[in-house]
């Protein structure tokens, strides 16, 4: 991890960069700081630090999570806040599919493919709620942000629908909602978690392939996964500090 001094240097560098960007604009002035709502007053660490765990070894590809997400969040047809991919790795290459995002489950692959398969599994995908989210960096109006508890969210009243965030996301989890014409994506069911519930997909997963919880709570399942340190993240080379920890992630998965 970073030492305090290198952290201070990084903060300084960030301020320097932000400062020169601000100087480039000929009139940027500071708006009075509004007191933050939760756990964000000054130096005090936020109360929660949420994370998501996806256990590929447990996923059976039933599609419950995708259906639940669509119902819970009124996701337009043909767009997905979460989806399931099926990987079939063979000696001649890798076969990936996700019919309708896996919403209606999967039919068996061709017999020849099944026979050839060296390794095959399902991979649920969703927003990684990155700590260093490229989508937040590129949003020109501050309509997407990371809440103090670690939710990367979209301000549906402020978003201008430019789709820059869609381009910047390395994981393809963002889309422009066809009905609302604004950026949309998984919120880890912020509305449910704020009422003490679990995200819809976690609630319905029959095999506990999806876990959600607070890293600040050492007894939570996600904190234990993080502690065990046998997890991986998608596209580590993107350095997004993904907060979706994958268990059993195979090399071929992108």
Span 46-75, contacts to other proteins by CB under 8 A: 48, 50, 57-64, 68, 71-73
User: Rule CB under 8 A: is residue 157 a binding residue for other proteins?
Assistant: yes
User: Rule CB under 8 A: is residue 198 a binding residue for other proteins?
Assistant: yes
| Residue selected from 204, 215, 245, 249 as contacting other proteins according to rule CB under 8 A | 204
Span near other proteins by CB under 8 A; candidates 4-12, 145-153, 225-233: 145-153
User: β-strands 175-176, 183-184: how paired?
Assistant: antiparallel
| Residue selected from 9, 41, 132, 206 as contacting other proteins according to rule CB under 8 A | 206
User: Rule CB under 8 A: is residue 9 a binding residue for other proteins?
Assistant: no
CB nearer to other proteins: pick between 3 and 206: 206
Q: Which residues of 166-195 are buried (b: 16+ CB within 10 A; e: fewer)?
A: bebbbbebbbbbeeeebbbbbbbbbebbee
Greatest CA separation for the chain = 65
Residues in the chain: 254
Closest CA relative to residue 80, chosen from 49, 50, 104, 59: 104
Three-state DSSP class for residue 100: helix
Contacts of 172 (CB under 8 A, 6+ apart): none
Span near other proteins by CB under 8 A; candidates 3-11, 184-192, 225-233: 184-192
User: Rule CB under 8 A: is residue 170 a binding residue for other proteins?
Assistant: yes
Q: What does the radius of gyration of the chain's CA atoms come to, in whole angstroms?
A: 20
In Å, what is the CA distance from 46 to each residue of 94, 153, 215? 42, 17, 11
Q: Taking the complex as a whole, how short is the minimal distance between the CB of residue 1 and other proteins, in angstroms?
A: 23
Considering only residues 88 to 117 of the shown chain, the ones binding other proteins according to CB under 8 A are 88, 90, 92-98, 100-101, 105-106, 108-109, 113-114, 117
User: Rule CB under 8 A: is residue 164 a binding residue for other proteins?
Assistant: yes
User: Rule CB under 8 A: is residue 172 a binding residue for other proteins?
Assistant: yes
User: Rule CB under 8 A: is residue 188 a binding residue for other proteins?
Assistant: no
């Amino acid at each position: 991890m970073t030492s305090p001094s290198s952290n201070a240097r990084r903060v300084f560098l960030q301020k320097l960069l932000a400062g020169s960007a601000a100087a480039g604009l000929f009139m940027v002035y500071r708006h009075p700081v509004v007191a933050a709502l939760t756990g964000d007053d000054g130096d005090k660490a936020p109360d929660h630090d949420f994370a998501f765990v996806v256990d590929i070894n447990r996923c059976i590809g039933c599609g419950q999570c995708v259906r639940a997400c669509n119902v819970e969040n009124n996701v337009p047809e043909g767009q997905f806040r979460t989806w399931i991919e099926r990987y079939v790795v063979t000696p001649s290459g890798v076969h990936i599919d996700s019919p309708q995002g896996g919403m209606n489950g999967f039919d068996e692959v061709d017999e020849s493919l099944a026979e050839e398969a060296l390794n095959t599994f399902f991979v649920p995908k969703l927003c990684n709620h990155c700590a260093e989210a490229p989508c937040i960096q590129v949003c020109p109006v501050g309509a997407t942000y990371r809440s103090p508890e670690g939710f990367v969210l979209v301000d549906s009243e402020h978003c201008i629908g430019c789709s820059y965030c869609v381009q910047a996301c390395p994981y393809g989890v963002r889309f422009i909602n066809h009905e609302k014409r604004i950026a949309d994506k998984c919120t880890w069911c912020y509305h449910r978690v704020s009422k003490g519930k679990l995200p819809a997909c976690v609630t319905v997963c029959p095999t506990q392939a999806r876990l959600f919880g607070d890293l600040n709570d050492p007894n939570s399942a996600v904190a234990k996964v993080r502690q065990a340190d046998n997890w991986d993240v998608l596209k580590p080379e993107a350095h997004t500090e993904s907060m979706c920890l994958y268990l059993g992630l195979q090399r071929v998965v992108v």
